[in-house]
């Protein structure tokens, strides 16, 4: 059936493409085209020098300090 053929092709491509290549394609799709995620880094430049880390884990540090804008930014960076 058509669903079986599509599943076979998607499975074959997903298995045969190297993981770093899928990561690069993910960056192009989700960062450059759709702008759903942030550029791969720890934080945006806006928060880089204004945020004081405590534990070194930005999500936890932002939650402990109540800086929810930094928390959301760190979450967007950690997705990919």
| pLDDT tens track for 33-79 | 888 887 777 888 888 888 888 998 999 999 999 999 999 988 988 87
- Compute the distance between CA of residue 39 and CA of residue 65 in angstroms, rounded to an integer: 24
Residue 3 has pLDDT above 80, yes or no: yes
CB 64 within 8 A of CB 73: no
* Token couple for 13: 């491509």
15-26 pLDDT, tens digit per residue, is 898 989 988 888
């Amino acid at each position: 059936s058509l669903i079986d053929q599509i599943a076979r092709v998607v499975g074959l491509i997903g298995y045969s493409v190297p993981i770093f290549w899928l990561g690069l394609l993910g960056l192009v799709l989700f960062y450059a085209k759709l702008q759903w995620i942030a550029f791969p880094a720890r934080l945006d430049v806006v928060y880089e020098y204004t945020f004081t880390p405590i534990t070194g884990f930005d999500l936890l540090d932002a939650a402990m300090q109540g800086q929810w804008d930094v928390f959301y930014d760190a979450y967007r960076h950690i997705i990919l």
